[in-house]
Structure 1
Amino acid sequence: MTSRNAPRHVIITGGSSGIGLALAKAYLAKGSKLTLIARSPERLEAARGQLRFHAKEADIGLQSADVTDFAGISAAIAEAQQRFGPCDLLITCAGVVHPATLEAIDIADARRQLDINVMGTIHAAKALWAAMASAGGTMLFLSSGAAFIGLHGYGPYCASKAALVGLADSLRMEAVGTKLKVAICFPPDTDTPQLAGELPLRSPQAQRVMGTVKPWSADAVAARIVSQLQKGRSEIYFGMTLLLLARFGSLVRPLLYWWYSRGGRK
């Protein structure tokens, strides 16, 4: 994919809802062929039902696979490319969050966040790395504003999203001399089914920090991602607060933690 042309074939993991589904709509509208990968066949079919209004059904491919299973995700990606040709843009949207303090969290829930958010991204990227490094294209990892600041009850989630920063930086170095570009984005709270399920579990301490910003719509997040990728951006931010945390985190975070400590335990 060049910065000016729409990608011919977009593969989105976790594309059956939320930001992934909004991105699917945006790229179908631009004329891209699209493959959605998610675990649930039922949710994939529901997504296709929504996407029919935005493109020809023949341009929409569905693959049921679990991103934590490298063999399974590799097979799904191979089938997708057999149908629509080489992948020009991989977007790793598959992710999960389960707010809970370290004392209270079930270790299986902690591990699941790391497995899906980090290993799921690595699996999809590895499955396409050799082909895209040779033929060209972009890999976009969906991180989070939680990559930049510790949040009460979000330890494994923050760790997983921060890990994607290191992953993207490292893979960007490995991509030097190839035709592949590695990008990462940091969405804020976004109005999605996942956020709806997360909010009842969010602690008052976390809400004190996170509840100060109105969630973005999934369509607005998708529109910014599409626009920024077209401009060739390798890092995509949403709002001044996240940009400041990314660029000046060592200065901004102490102020935020000081502010939180003054009222976070009330």
Structure 2
Amino acid sequence: MRHVLVTGGSSGIGLAIAAQLLAHGNRITLIARDEGRLAEAQRALSQAGAQAQRVLGVPADVTDAEALGDAVARCTARFGGIDMLAACAGIVEPARFVDQDGAAFDRQIAVNVTGVANSVRSVLPAMLGRGRGRIGIVSSGAGLIGIPGYSAYCTSKFALRGLAAALRLETAGSGVSVSICFPPDTLTPQFERELPLRPPEAQAIMGRVRPVDAKTVAGIILAGMEKNRREIHFGLTLRLLGYFGPLASTYIEMRHGRRYAIKTEDPPSAP
């Protein structure tokens, strides 16, 4: 029986991962900021008496390293050392770069990058000490290609690929595996909030891949982690982006750049 820590576990992909792991007999710790949603998720997972004893919800903000460390100490005191981390916490706030204030940009970087780094840091030393462990980082298809209106989100999700690559080299031969996945649009509460804010030029690119339900995405992630896959892709389109992202970016920029170019007023003529 493994102890699995799931950040962003109160909804979406994180909750779906937790449900599947719980069904296979694992002990699950859910971490999320919103205490109400966290309690609701814990109740949903704890329908059977035996399962209720294997689920713990601990409120914490992944951007707060100290609070996250306290949460990890609390859950390890109950369930023992953490065998697996699913770093699913993330946010997205679509807007053109010139229209988005710095606070919104910084918030996405803080949660999506620093939050993941804090999560890994909270479990990795103990995993290395035991000589075993699995770390799964949830990036996005937006971590493979630039998307208009998603400058902050793309920045954060691209960064996770570099983090995962460096971690794999640092943990090579240690018994700790590091996987990163790049899901497409996934049918989650966050997706429902995001979609009305999505610029049409972004939809022209992202709408080519149909949204996938969270249960399916979670199953693919867990199967890839069990096989120690370095990168986990979803379907032919995203797999090709994973391998040929720079070429695809050039093509998309050439095709869509002129059509959706930001129009600016001509500068006033000199007096």
Name the TM-score, length of structure 1 as normaliser: 0.94
Tell me the alpha carbon deviations over residues 162-188 of structure 1, each in whole angstroms, 9 at most, x when there is no partner.
000000011111112322111111111
The question of 1:233 aligning with 2:192 is answered no
- Given that 1:134 and 1:179 are in contact with CA atoms closer than 8 Å, whether structure 2 keeps it comes out as no
Partner of residue 73 from structure 2, selected from 78, 84, 87: 78
* Superposed displacement of residue 262, structure 1: 5.5
User: Any idea what SS the aligned residue of 2:134 has?
Assistant: strand
Larger-Rg structure: 2
Distance, in Å, in 1 between the alignment partners of 2:118 and 2:212 is 28
User: Any idea what SS the aligned residue of 2:47 has?
Assistant: coil
Q: In the alignment, which residue of structure 1 is the partner of 2:29?
A: 35
Q: In the alignment, which residue of structure 2 is the partner of 1:47?
A: 41
- Given that 1:144 and 1:188 are in contact with CA atoms closer than 8 Å, whether structure 2 keeps it comes out as yes
* Superposed displacement of residue 211, structure 1: 1.4
Distance, in Å, in 1 between the alignment partners of 2:102 and 2:247 is 33
Q: In the alignment, which residue of structure 1 is the partner of 2:110?
A: 115
* Superposed displacement of residue 62, structure 1: 0.8
Distance, in Å, in 2 between the alignment partners of 1:9 and 1:234 is 22
Q: In the alignment, which residue of structure 2 is the partner of 1:140?
A: 136
Worse overlay, 128-137 or 150-159: 128-137
Distance, in Å, in 2 between the alignment partners of 1:17 and 1:112 is 19
Tell me the alpha carbon deviations over residues 80-116 of structure 1, each in whole angstroms, 9 at most, x when there is no partner.
1111111111011110000011111021110000000
The gaps in structure 2 that reach 5 residues or longer are 263-271
The question of 1:25 aligning with 2:39 is answered no
Matched letter for residue 159 of structure 2: A
RMSD: 1.5
Matched letter for residue 176 of structure 2: L
Partner of residue 210 from structure 1, selected from 206, 211, 215: 206
Q: In the alignment, which residue of structure 2 is the partner of 1:149?
A: 145
Q: In the alignment, which residue of structure 2 is the partner of 1:58?
A: 53
User: Any idea what SS the aligned residue of 1:56 has?
Assistant: helix
Percent same amino acid at aligned positions? 45
Q: In the alignment, which residue of structure 1 is the partner of 2:6?
A: 12
* Superposed displacement of residue 265, structure 1: 5.1
- Given that 1:208 and 1:264 are in contact with CA atoms closer than 8 Å, whether structure 2 keeps it comes out as no
Q: Which runs of 4+ in 1 moved over 4 A?
A: none
Q: In the alignment, which residue of structure 2 is the partner of 1:4?
A: none
Partner of residue 251 from structure 2, selected from 225, 248, 255: 255
Distance, in Å, in 2 between the alignment partners of 1:99 and 1:128 is 31
Q: In the alignment, which residue of structure 2 is the partner of 1:3?
A: none
RCO higher in structure (CA 8 A, sep ≥6)? 1
Partner of residue 91 from structure 2, selected from 72, 92, 96: 96
Q: In the alignment, which residue of structure 1 is the partner of 2:267?
A: none
Distance, in Å, in 1 between the alignment partners of 2:110 and 2:37 is 21
Matched letter for residue 129 of structure 2: S
